[in-house]
Amino acid sequence: MIGLHVRKTLKGSGKNIELQLSLDIKKGEFVTLYGESGAGKTSALRLLSGLLTPDVGTITVDGRVWFDAEKHINLPSQTRKLGYVFQDYALFPHMTVRQNLEFALTKAQDGAIVVELLEFMELSDLQDRKPMTLSGGQKQRVALARALVQQPEILILDEPLSALDYAMRVKLQTYILRIHKKFKLTTILVSHDIGEIVRMSDRVIELKQGKVIKTATTADFFGLNKASAKFRFTGEIISIQKEDVIYVVGVLIGNEVVKVIADLAEVRQLAIGDKVYVASKAFNPIIQKI
């Protein structure tokens, strides 16, 4: 559905960054762009949405050409039907929650969708509040609802949950998944949070220094298929302690620390700061680096 094959030189402070992106995304997919800061994830979203113009290449969506450098086609952002959720939410401070949603209506559109979205996102009680008086999670829900007013087929989420605490993230992940399914969206998420990616996305595209270096289904990407597990959580190692003949590994999963027992052979492969998953096969939990 989406084919983005472009090149763009970004003039950064100091050195230029060469973006050379090639992405193909299928209709209805939930795709995550993954990679370090500065890898070009946000730029990829901006190129797709027309906020940034490629130097060369083509962007086609649903068989329509959005951008073609050779044919001098470049649809303005205004006509690219995308729901875009910005990292800082970009809610209009002078409008109430409801007015923020109503502003997004097109001239021909019926206002019923606003009421529907307010209810769906559980915002009805907050509809007359100004964004400044809302919590981070509430703002995020408004931003999501607003992005859906024009009923886009593609939803773009630029690190939408990075400013929220763990409990709020989990809650919003559920919202996003519900939206994705209910409105049959093609969703592109930018995220570094492995737990979040595993929970939400079908496919992961890893970027490094402006290029796609790996693309795979989420399970393959993080090697989750190797163990057939009864339960599985991803986390980060925060401590490794020797206790007599065994080792106790402290793993931060979400906001909880889990202690997992490991033997010397396992501990040799692990270091503090490693991303790991903790899984259980029948009775004994296993721990493996990902």
Binding residues for another protein, per CB under 8 A? 49-51, 76-80, 82-84, 86-88, 90, 92-94, 103-104, 106, 146-147, 149-150
Q: Is residue 182 within 8 Å of residue 213, measured between CB atoms?
A: no
Q: Are strands 56-61 and 2-10 parallel, antiparallel or unpaired?
A: antiparallel
Q: Of 51 and 272, which CB lies nearer to another protein in the complex structure?
A: 51
Which residue lies nearer to another protein by CB, 80 or 169? 80
DSSP secondary-structure letter at 145?
Answer: H
Find the shortest distance in angstroms from Cβ 93 to another protein. Answer: 6
Q: Give start and end residues of each alpha helix (H) in 12-165.
A: 41-49, 97-103, 112-120, 136-148
- Cβ nearer to another protein, comparing 147 with 260: 147
Distances (CA, A) of 249 to 69, 233, 270, 289, 290: 53, 14, 9, 12, 15
Which region, left, alpha or beta, applies to residue 257 given φ > 0 means left and ψ of -120 to 50 means alpha? beta
Q: Is 13 or 78 the residue whose CB approaches another protein more closely? A: 78
What distance in Å separates the CA atoms of residue 105 and residue 255, rounded to the nearest whole number? 39
Cβ 214 to another protein, closest distance in Å? 29
SS3 assignment, position 21: strand
Query: What minimum distance in Å lies between the beta carbon of 81 and another protein?
Result: 8
Extract the tokens encoding 111: 């206002």
Which residues, other chains included, contact 112 with Cβ-Cβ below 8 Å and sequence gap of 6+?
none
The least distance separating another protein from the CB of residue 84, rounded to whole angstroms, comes to 4
Report residue 9 as tokens.
């030189």
Minimum distance from CB of 24 to another protein (Å)?
A: 22
Residue 23 or 142 having the CB closest to another protein: 142
Cβ 274 to another protein shortest distance, Å? 34
Nearer to another protein, 82 or 172 (CB): 82
The residue (of 47 and 147) whose beta carbon lies closer to another protein is 147
CA neighbor of 174 nearest in space, from 120, 211, 134: 120
101-137 b/e with 16+ CB inside 10 Å = b? bbebeeeeeeeebbeebbebbebeebbeebbeebeeb
| Closest separation in Å from C-beta 152 to another protein | 9
Q: Minimum distance between the CB of residue 51 and another protein, rounded to whole angstroms?
A: 5
Among residues 79 and 284, whose Cβ is nearest to another protein? Answer: 79
